[in-house]
Structure 1
Amino acid sequence: MSATDIPENAPEHCPGPTTEQAGTASACQGCPNQNVCATAPKGPDPDLPFIKERMDSVKHKILILSGKGGVGKSTFTSQLGFALANDENIQVGIMDVDVCGPSIPKIMGLEGEQIHQSLSGWSAVYVQDNLGVMSIGFMLSNPDDAIIWRGPKKNGLIKQFLKDVDWGDLDFMLVDTPPGTSDEHLSIIQYLKESGIDGAVIITTPQEVALQDVRKEIDFCRKVKIPIIGVVENMSGFVCPKCKGESVIFSPTTGGAKKMAEDVKIPFLGSIPLDPRIGKACDTGVSFLDEYSDSPACKAYLDIITEIKSSLTTQGNF
């Protein structure tokens, strides 16, 4: 057991959540994690070797993160997926681990689709031949159904997405995550640890109320040793589709994402202005980049995607 296995809010002599004494040792009395540790399976997760075997066929794994909700993680993930898949020689998979708010099926034009099973496992749902998607949204009988699950059930689903889905040989797996630094994030990192994560793209909007949560996400990445590819400032201004004039909507009172990136010494990938047609593209499930190539937001997306590819090349991973 390593020191990183022990939760930060654990008592001084915590035996560790994977040991035989977890939840029953004297040091566990009064710990908020006592019941979870006592009932959790002990020892190494027997499914990890199967996950590693599946993930060994995926070249690049990129997490899309943000401590703040509503900043456009799913929108960015979808457009990154569409852009990468424009090259028919590149195979892309999108895994939606936002269990309680799965919006990827709608954004990708796959609403109403269902998961099918074959001898090799669950089959991803395909937008096109080289762009597959997996989401709990495909499992709901009604898209308006609330998913009221505790952490262990969420973690079990994420494990199934990695272990039981026949992803095939992928060049890129993009993982769309919920806001925060909790169960889903810890699970995906634990399960992908052996096969490796190339890095995280962190999404924010310019205002301080978003940046303060995004700083926590940056701290999270550093604590769990996930490389940060860079930060993207979304909704950085409003671009009029007719006159192309830009207006500030969310005022960057503390300097915005660029200043924050400089302060915490991480790459700034670029800013994406608001364009009302982005929302229209997401509602209708089409690629904004293909439909509205004249938009300044489209150019911003493509420049950022080039930066991401360049970062992977610099790391020797592309």
Structure 2
Amino acid sequence: MASTENTVPEHCPGTESANAGKDSACAGCPNQQICATGPKGPDPGIQLVKERLECVKHKILVLSGKGGVGKSTVTALLSRALAANDIEKNVAVLDIDICGPSQPRVLGVLDEEVHQSGSGWSPVYVDDNLSVMSIGFLLSSPDDAIIWRGPKKNGMIKQFLSEVDWGNLDYLLMDTPPGTSDEHLSASTYLSQAGLTGAVIVTTPQEVALIDVRKEIDFCRKVNINILGVVENMSIFVCPSCIRQSEIFPATTGGAQKMCEDLNVPFLGKLPLDPKIARCCDEGKNPIETLPDSPAVKSVLTITKKLIEACEKS
């Protein structure tokens, strides 16, 4: 599945191996036939991605082991906060959640179209210094289902990473689907030579989410992805009327902060659940501008400063 020895899980022999597609660990993998019959050696796409992303300073994967933790919302909030922090900095979002692309709606550019030139696909601009690319722009309707097997999704990810003309970027945030499967292996493989800065991992406080986040942390360590930090989303509920705070997802085992201490990974901070933020994202508005006094926005800005520091140290 993956193409370099230092970026594959222990169970995958890698495409360079003589056992590629033939090992017992390959059983059930959607790429088994491709690996068994395809040419052995490094994927040429790795070099293409490296060349395309040479002008991108910081490349950040946003991961979550569990679905429904608000990863796409956190990605959008971080991108808007990074863009607002310094208007001289250029920020972009790449939506590689192929089956559930959310960024066009969350960033308020749902009806835009992607244009292609001799230098590649042009991303859609949200603001002067914030752009986005998503398969959502390529669908005839937002309701269209994408029913693809692994190889086709992997090919789309390679195309996004190697053919989008980002120009000079300071930050590229890549919104991924939940889990540790095809899309994650493809992204980590194609970015293996491109100077990936690291990953931000999103979770919620309850143990059922933290169980999967621990797997995500293990995945990052196995494929040598630097963990920039963990964000605990929906840590508390903030009433939009009285600003009172309540625990919706009790942190029965200490929440993300305790998990980070136990696993020795950085903790970036907590984001409260604010219905006004959710409404802004549904409507494609910028909460950083429209809700500057929201506790969630204030937390986002604090987390963003920590993320900038973590990127500079990497």
Band the TM-score falls in, shorter-chain normalisation: over 0.9
Q: How big is each residue's C-alpha offset from its partner over 1:80-100, in whole Å with a ceiling of 9 and x where there is no partner?
A: 111111222111110000000
| Superposition deviation, residue 29 in structure 1 | 6.8
Cα contact 2:87–2:129 (8 A) shared by 1 = yes
Cα contact 2:114–2:121 (8 A) shared by 1 = yes
AA partner of residue 9 (structure 1):
H
For residues 168-317 of structure 1, what are the structure 2 equivalents within 5 Å? 168-315=167-314
* Corresponding position of 1:40: 38
Whether 2:102 is the aligned partner of 1:103: answer: yes
* Corresponding position of 2:160: 161
**Cα distance 1:289–1:30, how it changes in 2: closer, same or farther (>3 A)?**
closer
* Corresponding position of 1:63: 61
SS for the counterpart of 1:70 is coil
Cα contact 2:230–2:269 (8 A) shared by 1 = yes
**Cα distance 1:59–1:4, how it changes in 2: closer, same or farther (>3 A)?**
closer
**Cα distance 1:6–1:233, how it changes in 2: closer, same or farther (>3 A)?**
closer
| Superposition deviation, residue 30 in structure 1 | 8.4
* Corresponding position of 1:51: 49
Cα contact 1:6–1:17 (8 A) shared by 2 = no
Normalising by structure 2, we get a TM-score of 0.93
SS for the counterpart of 1:297 is helix
Cα contact 2:6–2:224 (8 A) shared by 1 = no
**Cα distance 1:7–1:270, how it changes in 2: closer, same or farther (>3 A)?**
closer
Cα contact 1:58–1:173 (8 A) shared by 2 = yes
| Superposition deviation, residue 20 in structure 1 | 5.5
Q: How big is each residue's C-alpha offset from its partner over 1:223-243, in whole Å with a ceiling of 9 and x where there is no partner?
A: 111111111110011111232
AA partner of residue 193 (structure 1):
S
AA partner of residue 8 (structure 1):
E
AA partner of residue 64 (structure 1):
V
Q: Which is higher, the Rg of structure 1 or of structure 2?
A: 1
Whether 2:11 is the aligned partner of 1:9: answer: yes
| Superposition deviation, residue 268 in structure 1 | 1.1
**Cα distance 1:276–1:30, how it changes in 2: closer, same or farther (>3 A)?**
closer
* Corresponding position of 2:76: 78
SS for the counterpart of 2:59 is strand
Cα distance in 2 for residues equivalent to 1:73 and 1:30: 30
AA partner of residue 70 (structure 1):
G
**Ranges in structure 1 where 5+ consecutive residues have no aligned partner:** none
Cα distance in 1 for residues equivalent to 2:297 and 2:79: 14
| Superposition deviation, residue 162 in structure 1 | 1.2
| Superposition deviation, residue 39 in structure 1 | 3.2
Cα distance in 2 for residues equivalent to 1:96 and 1:257: 25
AA partner of residue 120 (structure 1):
S
| Superposition deviation, residue 132 in structure 1 | 1.0
Runs of 4+ displaced beyond 6 Å? none
Cα distance in 2 for residues equivalent to 1:103 and 1:37: 31
Cα distance in 1 for residues equivalent to 2:292 and 2:7: 47
AA partner of residue 140 (structure 1):
L
Q: Percent identity?
A: 59
AA partner of residue 174 (structure 2):
V
AA partner of residue 10 (structure 2):
E
AA partner of residue 179 (structure 2):
G
Cα distance in 1 for residues equivalent to 2:123 and 2:159: 12
Cα contact 2:15–2:41 (8 A) shared by 1 = no
**Ranges in structure 2 where 5+ consecutive residues have no aligned partner:** none
| Superposition deviation, residue 40 in structure 1 | 3.5
Cα contact 1:5–1:17 (8 A) shared by 2 = no
| Superposition deviation, residue 36 in structure 1 | 4.0
Higher relative contact order at CA 8 Å, sep ≥6: structure 1 or structure 2? 2
Cα contact 1:107–1:282 (8 A) shared by 2 = yes
